Amino acid sequence: MAEMLKRVDIDFAVYEKAGEVGGTWRDNTFPGLFVDVLSRQYEFPFHPNYNWSRKYAPAAEIWTYIKKVARDRGLTKFIRFNEGIVAARFTNGRWHIETGGGNSDVADVFVCATGFLHKPLLPDIPGRENFAGPSFHSARWDHSVPHAGNRWGVIGSGASGVQITEALAWAGCDVTQFIRRAQWVHIRENPYTTWRERLKLRLPGGYVREQRRLWQFINETDRWRLEPGPQREAMEREYAAFLDDIKDPELKKKLTPDYNLGCTRIPKSDRNYYEAVQLPNAHIVKGHIDHIEPDAVVMADGTRVELDVLVYATGFDAHAYMRPMNVTGLNGTSIDEAWRERIYSYGGIALPGFPNLFMLYGPFAPVNNVPVPLGLDQEIACIMRLIAEARARRAAIAPTTAATEKFLARLGTAFPGTVWVGGCKNWYTSRQPTPVLWPFPQSEHKAFFERVPIEDFDFIPVG
Ligand SMILES: Cc1cc2nc3c(=O)[nH]c(=O)nc-3n(C[C@H](O)[C@H](O)[C@H](O)COP(=O)(O)OP(=O)(O)OC[C@H]3O[C@@H](n4cnc5c(N)ncnc54)[C@H](O)[C@@H]3O)c2cc1C
């Protein structure tokens, strides 16, 4: 967003509550984390990187890349670090912003690029605060704790829990993963890129374009999440076969999911999680955790697992969006009030009653098979057009309630038959029955943002 604003010479500032860029990739430094789409698909479209070390880059490499983009593109000077915004109110046609440090600012347009997996969620387990050893959320990894010589506990079987357990197990640590429900896990290789591949990317000609066309084709024809049929059945067979790597029938039973594939985000494993958990130093404990003691986790069936370190791989409050920031729109309506009954948005980017407020990857924006940077690129291009339209009319812009309801109704009809309504508990539906996802093919994402009708918006004169 900053790069696009810079290009059209709009006066802007970026407020970042942390001391460095990187968001997810700055905060999540746990062992085993790598990006789950092709590294090349996780680039900003305007800043290619020809040097990814692996097909799916390790997290640290993504963070380094983001820092480099900010520096090379001259964006750092626009960022006010260590300035978290705590409140923003639309008054007299402008956004009045307050930071945690007591500073204030006024802006015509307010964009919330606050992330959808940002606010760590800790479980409500009795005795959690009594644990005597180091304990931390996966997004707050304590690198001062040595891997070796400790008995590690990992609570959670989502993408983070799987990757952490796998990494600790292969590192030879004594690790116990506590799971409530088994996950489908994608076991796949993560080869190093060769110098030939890197060189080909730099060559003039069609190689990059050709690759992009291929990805687009794959994403477009990859419809198993959206509709039942032979493609979905083939995927289910492929994933069920990964479980055949588990020799012990008891362990296999514990790790076999009881809901349909894709209902939760699928953890990716590049060093075979199923082999890792069969190592003698790795243990899977399945069931409900009753409470935590200073040196142990105690299960509802009385099993007591003694531990030195406890990791909460328990995910994020994916429905918080820009909150706890206190955002207030027209007529003094706060975002908490607007979303009290249900979380909604127009296209994941805007809200009726909140003029000149835009969200990046807001509710319903995560697209089932579109890499985040590409999805963001399409959203941002649309937001830039809406900002230009509002400026031209000397007005503030907000979607109409009717257009928002029409968008939501269309979403509602798209979900039946998709994998996300397949009887599992997932972060898409943790607060409401309608998953906060984009349930249409990739082409519709592009088409929607390219052709957002201007009649879907109200213009409020701002003088
Ligand atoms: C462990 C993990 C692994 C992931 N892996 C993948 C993956 O493999 N592939 C994929 O496509 N996606 C992945 N994601 C999703 C990932 O979050 C997005 O791909 C992407 O990083 C979102 O970028 P963002 O800038 O929108 O949000 P974020 O990266 O979350 O950045 C938000 C920024 O806003 C700042 N901020 C928040 N609130 C305020 C405030 N009030 N004031 C000032 N600053 C504020 C934060 O400090 C942060 O720097 C993963 C997420 C997690 C948590």
User: What is the distance between the alpha carbons of residues 267 and 256, in angstroms, rounded to a whole number?
Assistant: 14
Judged on CB neighbours under 10 Å (0-12, 13-18, 19+), 214 is exposed
Section 428-440 average pLDDT: 81
Section 254-269 average pLDDT: 93
Helices 442-450 and 207-221 cross at an angle (nearest 10°) of 110
pLDDT at residue 348 tops 70: yes
pLDDT at residue 217 tops 90: no
- What's the pLDDT score for residue 443? 84
What values do phi and psi take at 31, rounded to 5? -65, 140
Mutate to test the pocket of ligand 1, among 118, 321, 438 (most ligand atoms within 8 A of CB): 118
pLDDT at residue 351 tops 90: yes
pLDDT digits (tens, 9 = 90+) for 274-294: 999 999 999 999 999 999 999
pLDDT at residue 206 tops 70: no
pLDDT digits (tens, 9 = 90+) for 152-164: 999 999 999 999 9
pLDDT digits (tens, 9 = 90+) for 58-73: 999 999 999 999 999 9
CA dist list (Å): 35 to 58, 63, 167, 268, 438: 6, 11, 15, 9, 20
Strands 79-81 and 14-16: parallel
Question: DSSP alpha helices (H): ranges in 316-416?
Answer: 335-338, 372-392, 401-414
Q: For residue 176, which of 52, 286, 329, 75 has the smallest C-alpha distance?
A: 286
pLDDT at residue 204 tops 80: no
* Cβ 18 under 6 angstroms from ligand 1: yes
pLDDT at residue 380 tops 80: yes
Judged on CB neighbours under 10 Å (0-12, 13-18, 19+), 432 is middle
- What's the pLDDT score for residue 215? 80
Ligand 1 centroid – CA 414 distance (Å): 26
User: What is the distance between the alpha carbons of residues 133 and 295, in angstroms, rounded to a whole number?
Assistant: 7
Section 330-338 average pLDDT: 97
pLDDT at residue 369 tops 70: no
Ligand 1 centroid – CA 13 distance (Å): 19
- What's the pLDDT score for residue 202? 85
* Cβ 37 under 6 angstroms from ligand 1: yes
* Cβ 88 under 6 angstroms from ligand 1: no
* Cα four-point dihedral sign 124, 339, 381, 420: positive
Tokens of 29: 């430094």
pLDDT at residue 208 tops 80: no
Calculate the average pLDDT of the chain.
Answer: 94
Tokens of 148: 């070796």
User: What is the distance between the alpha carbons of residues 369 and 120, in angstroms, rounded to a whole number?
Assistant: 24
The atom number, within ligand 1, closest to the CA of 118 reads 30
- What's the pLDDT score for residue 371? 82
- What's the pLDDT score for residue 321? 94
Nearest CA to ligand 1 atom 31: 23
Percent of the chain at pLDDT above 90?
83
Nearest CA to ligand 1 atom 27: 115
Ligand 1 centroid – CA 372 distance (Å): 10
* Cα four-point dihedral sign 96, 98, 104, 109: negative
pLDDT at residue 189 tops 70: yes
Least confident of 208-212, 223-227, 301-305: 208-212
Ligand 1 centroid – CA 24 distance (Å): 4
* Cβ 85 under 6 angstroms from ligand 1: yes
Least confident of 91-105, 116-130, 177-191, 363-377: 363-377
pLDDT at residue 386 tops 90: yes
User: What is the distance between the alpha carbons of residues 302 and 290, in angstroms, rounded to a whole number?
Assistant: 8
Section 228-241 average pLDDT: 95
- What's the pLDDT score for residue 422? 66
Nearest CA to ligand 1 atom 35: 114
Ligand 1 centroid – CA 28 distance (Å): 9
pLDDT at residue 433 tops 90: no
Section 239-257 average pLDDT: 97
pLDDT at residue 362 tops 70: yes
User: What is the distance between the alpha carbons of residues 158 and 155, in angstroms, rounded to a whole number?
Assistant: 9
Q: For residue 275, which of 160, 148, 189 has the smallest C-alpha distance?
A: 189
* Cβ 28 under 6 angstroms from ligand 1: yes
Ligand 1 centroid – CA 395 distance (Å): 31
DSSP states along 195-227: HHHHHHHHSSSSHHHHHHHHHHHHHHH--TTTS
- What's the pLDDT score for residue 392? 95
What values do phi and psi take at 407, rounded to 5? -60, -45
- Which segments within 110-205 are labelled E, that is strand? 110-112, 135-137, 151-155, 174-179, 186-187
* Cβ 215 under 6 angstroms from ligand 1: no
- What's the pLDDT score for residue 327? 98
Percent of the chain at pLDDT above 70?
99
* Cα four-point dihedral sign 265, 269, 272, 277: negative
pLDDT at residue 387 tops 80: yes
Gyration radius (Cα) of the chain, Å: 23
- What's the pLDDT score for residue 216? 78
Strands 395-399 and 457-461: antiparallel
- What's the pLDDT score for residue 234? 96
* Cβ 359 under 6 angstroms from ligand 1: no
* More reliable by pLDDT, 436 or 433: 436
Question: DSSP alpha helices (H): ranges in 104-205?
Answer: 159-170, 195-202
* Cα four-point dihedral sign 446, 361, 371, 188: negative
